[in-house]
Amino acid sequence: MGETFALRPVIRRATADDAGRVAELIATAFAGLNAVRYLVPDRRERHRVMTANLRIFVDHAVEHGEVDLIDDGPAVAVWFSHTSPLPEPKDYDRRLEAATGEWIERFRVLDALFEENHPAQPYHHLAFLAVHPDRQDQGLGSALLRHHHARLAGAPAYLEASDPRNRDLYARHGYEVREPFALPDGTLFWPMWRPAGP
């Protein structure tokens, strides 16, 4: 015997009450990324600053997007639909400055790069897919992707992969790599497009 079978994870829509721990989860999952080291060079401040910055987008997604959370909280996907006009996060400039302090210009550079590389046609944007380091390689990210893809009703999807491992995961789910772009320190992002399906 001894064989174990993974249960299908329960995925639910996150609420405003979940926003703090969702931002914390994403900051924890992204801690080792080169882009995060560029954004906040001070290792001691990095987690606090990233959590505060991510909270802006999680709050916005709870109101204007979709936040899919594995029920006990180890993995999350944050989506925005760009199929109709999407407002900016409320008080974005003030909140960005409060969150990022002396590193605000680095975050503005990233914002500008993302804006320049977003597709012109309508799409669903996977802004963040994060799995807690203790729960990676258990299929949770794939479960979140399949969950949302099933609801796309044939619409295309877009994301920016932040490292080769993530890029390869998304490729397995039908995303095609576009021309990469780089932060000033040379850190690459890979824009990826999942074409509209039947």
Judging by DSSP bridges, how do beta strands 124-131 and 188-194 pair with one another? unpaired
Q: Would the CA dihedral through 135, 129, 176, 123 be positive or negative?
A: positive
Is 173 inside any structural domain? no
Is 162 inside any structural domain? no
Is 172 inside any structural domain? no
Q: Range of 96's domain? A: 11-152
Q: What CA–CA distances, in Å, run from 101 to 13, 25, 53, 72? A: 31, 21, 10, 32
Percent of the chain with pLDDT over 90: 86
The CATH number of residue 107's host domain is: 3.40.630.30
Is 146 inside any structural domain? yes
- 171 forms beta bridges with none
Is 87 inside any structural domain? yes
Is 166 inside any structural domain? no
Is 97 inside any structural domain? yes
Is 84 inside any structural domain? yes
Per-residue pLDDT at 6 exceeds 60: no
C-alpha angle with apex 153: 151 to 156, nearest 5 degrees? 100
Per-residue pLDDT at 59 exceeds 50: yes
Among candidate residues 175, 154, 149, 135, the one with its CA nearest the CA of residue 25: 135
- Listed in sequence order, the residues at least 6 apart from 152 whose beta carbon sits closer than 8 Å to its beta carbon are 124, 197
157-182 residue pLDDT tens: 999 999 999 999 999 999 999 999 99
* Token pair listed for 190: 């890979």
Number of domains the chain is built from: 1
- Listed in sequence order, the residues at least 6 apart from 19 whose beta carbon sits closer than 8 Å to its beta carbon are 55, 58, 59, 62
9-31 residue pLDDT tens: 899 999 999 999 999 999 999 99
Burial of 138 (0-12, 13-18, 19+ CB in 10 A): middle
**Helix (H), strand (E) at residue 188:** strand 188-194
